[in-house]
Amino acid sequence: MTDPSVRRLDTQEITTATDTREILANARRDIERYGLDDYLIVDVDSHHVELDSWPEILAYLDSPVMRDTANQMMRNWPQASHLALHNHPPGLTMQDVSGRIPHQASLGEDTPGATTGADRDVTLVRRAMDAMSIDLQVVFPQPMLETGLHPQPEVATALLAAYNRWFTTEILPREPRIRTMLGLPFENPDACLATIEEFGDTPGVIGFLVTSQRHAGVHRNAYMPVYRELERRGLPIGFHAGPNQADTMTSTMNRFLSAHAMSFVTCNMTHMTNWVVNGIPERFPGLKTIWIESGLAWLPFMMQRLDHEYYMRSSDAPLLTRPPSHYMREMFYTSQPMEWTDDKLLAATLEAIDAENSLMYSSDWPHWDFDVPGRIAALPFVSEHGKRNILGETARKVFELGDIAPSSHR
Amino acid sequence: MTTTERLVDVGASDDVPERGRLVVEIGGPTGPVTVGVFRFGGRLYAWENRCAHQGGPACQGRIVSRVRERLDDERRSLGLRFDEDVLHMVCPWHGFEYDVTTGRHPGRPDLALRSFPVAEDGGRIRVAV
């Protein structure tokens, strides 16, 4: 008979119906091994599935005409009940590697007592935070990261406004451990300013976001008032990468791996180049800039490439008083997906960006390439002080989070 | 088996069908260990439920044949196919795949799962831990 020391796991196979706490149960081993309950852990990039609550969000649309369009779409189009007005790219359904990574496709678990999408989302976020010993989590939407590619920019602007109102009304008041950087309707600089004005003082809003998949030059004069206002308020600006399987490069690619590996980086490479070469850090030296979800391997390449060209063509970048890499070293980066495939290359990358002062842990949960906090704690070439900074202390400074304590101290 | 190992009865032979698995937690003096027992080609294999990547539950994901790409004589791609002779377990955290019989990643064989001796006798499965 079965030995009494043996317990058969209730969940033999993890599926989209498995509870988040069970999916992430193995993270507990890292928490105990590295004493992570004793660290302040701020997760600067995670996601909830806004399309699960889409009808609730669309109810926040300002325009009666657009609200009617959304309602007609949801009523009449068989597949549009959770997609109305959205530009969800069909290739995103390849993300879960044909069911191999179920949590990417859906967190379909039970959430007893949740009566709204917001209730359910907050429950799911809490489960993930507790499983990974995360003290504060910055939560973003998912498919809305594609709003910069919406065929009708005014619809994208309206959807962002509705989402921002829904999130600040329904999500943030429910859980003080949740924070966010709200998306800016970047196609419309006046609407960006109005967004900052409306939500800049809202508790839990700790910055604003540009979703990086878009075809806008971030150096255009029209954006200067936006950067100036964020600098004046001491609010960081984040550039959140996203996928694109239809740009001039990725449209040649036949595998999701290829398009994801490239497009999550090239969008931010483009904005970083315009940002630095046009001297935005010289114009707004107090504006804290965060580059989100492009990984880290691109950074030493960009530093070397831009410095190399700047030395020969400084007249193309007359606002710069230092090499581009110097400005890049003063910006901030989220850690995920940390390309840890070669110790020497990763160590050199972390040194190049002054990671102990510029890097902020991010999980990107529940995406298929998420990182647990133990990933940072396990780095053999980062000091104990540096690990504490990366896991939470740098975020505490950047976002002026004040006096918050690790979970073990509460 | 070393002198510190013990044979633990984890279940009946019928609990692990061909191309199937049984995942159990086994208690011990130094703490529990979770082990997945797999059957493929009539043989049993036992691996720790801890991915070599980030420690995910590698034994609790999809069990699926290895995907290969077919080429013709001119080296043109004829598309993808399942190789029914190679069975993979997939870590559900990030998709790392391991050959059920070797516990090794198909492209980075140094990324491997910890193995446990496993034996079958009299309709019972025993793992040495």
Strands A42-47 and A205-211 turn out to be unpaired
The predicted structure's pLDDT at residue A410: 59
Quick check: B60 and B111 in contact, CB under 8 A? no
The residue among A43, A202, A208, A261 whose CA lies nearest residue A134 is A43
pLDDT digits (tens, 9 = 90+) for A217-266: 999 999 999 999 999 999 999 999 999 999 999 999 999 999 999 999 99
Instruction: Confirm or reject contact between B128 and chain A (CB < 8 A).
Output: no
Q: Taking CB atoms and an 8 Å limit, are B62 and A12 in contact across chains?
A: no
Split at pLDDT 50, 70, 90, the class of B3 is low
> How many of the other CB atoms lie within 10 Å of CB of A191?
19
Closest chain A residue to B122, measured at CA: A1
pLDDT digits (tens, 9 = 90+) for A179-211: 999 999 999 999 999 999 999 999 999 999 999
Whether B103 is covered by a domain: the verdict is: yes
Which backbone phi and psi does A8 adopt, to 5 degrees?
Answer: -75, 125
Strands B33-40 and B43-48 turn out to be antiparallel
Q: Containing H/E element for A8? A: strand A6-8
Instruction: Confirm or reject contact between A347 and chain B (CB < 8 A).
Output: no
The residue among A118, A104, A254, A125 whose CA lies nearest residue A179 is A125
**What 3-state class would DSSP assign to A20?**
helix
Q: Is the pLDDT of residue B32 over 60?
A: yes
Query: CATH number for the domain including B116?
Result: 2.102.10.10
Strands B115-116 and B43-48 turn out to be antiparallel
Closest chain B residue to A3, measured at CA: B9
Question: What residues contact B2, with CB distance under 8 A and at least 6 apart?
Answer: none
Say if the ipTM goes beyond 0.90: yes
Whether B1 is covered by a domain: the verdict is: no
C-alpha to C-alpha distance for B51 and B112, rounded to whole angstroms = 8
Token duo for residue A254: 């036949």
User: Which of B8, B15, B60 should one mutate to test binding to chain A, selecting the residue with the greatest count of A CBs within 10 A?
Assistant: B60
Identify the architecture of domain A20-409 in CATH. Answer: Alpha-Beta Barrel (3.20)
Kindly state the DSSP code that residue A219 receives in the 8-state scheme. Answer: T
- The string of DSSP codes covering A277-312 is HTTHHHH-TT--EEEESS-STHHHHHHHHHHHHHHH
For chain A, residues with pLDDT lower than 70 are 408-410
Give domain limits for chain A: 20-409
Whether B120 is covered by a domain: the verdict is: yes
C-alpha to C-alpha distance for B45 and A83, rounded to whole angstroms = 45
Total number of domains in chain B: 1
Token duo for residue B96: 């790392």
Whether B42 is covered by a domain: the verdict is: yes
Q: Residue B113: which domain range? A: 7-128
Instruction: Confirm or reject contact between B26 and chain A (CB < 8 A).
Output: yes
Question: What residues contact A66, with CB distance under 8 A and at least 6 apart?
Answer: A85, A155, A158
Token duo for residue A42: 């701020």
The predicted structure's pLDDT at residue A89: 86
Output the furthest CA–CA distance in chain A (Å, rounded).
Answer: 81
Whether B79 is covered by a domain: the verdict is: yes
- The string of DSSP codes covering A349-362 is HHHHTTHHHHEE--
Output the furthest CA–CA distance in chain B (Å, rounded).
Answer: 59
The predicted structure's pLDDT at residue B2: 53
Distance from CA of B124 to the nearest CA of A (A): 8
**What 3-state class would DSSP assign to A34?**
helix
CA angle A355, A361, A367 (to 5 degrees): 130
Instruction: Confirm or reject contact between A6 and chain B (CB < 8 A).
Output: yes
Of A27, A102, A374, the CB nearest to B92: A102
The predicted structure's pLDDT at residue B38: 98
Name every chain B residue with its beta carbon within 8 A of the beta carbon of A372. 54-55
Whether B70 is covered by a domain: the verdict is: yes
C-alpha to C-alpha distance for A336 and A367, rounded to whole angstroms = 11
Which backbone phi and psi does A128 adopt, to 5 degrees?
Answer: -65, -40
Q: Is the pLDDT of residue B10 over 70?
A: yes
Whether B117 is covered by a domain: the verdict is: yes
Quick check: B86 and B108 in contact, CB under 8 A? no
The predicted structure's pLDDT at residue A406: 87
Whether B2 is covered by a domain: the verdict is: no
C-alpha to C-alpha distance for A224 and A211, rounded to whole angstroms = 17
Query: Which B residues in the span 58-117 are in contact with A, Cβ-Cβ below 8 Å?
Result: 60-62, 64, 90, 92-95, 97
Strands B97-99 and B115-116 turn out to be unpaired
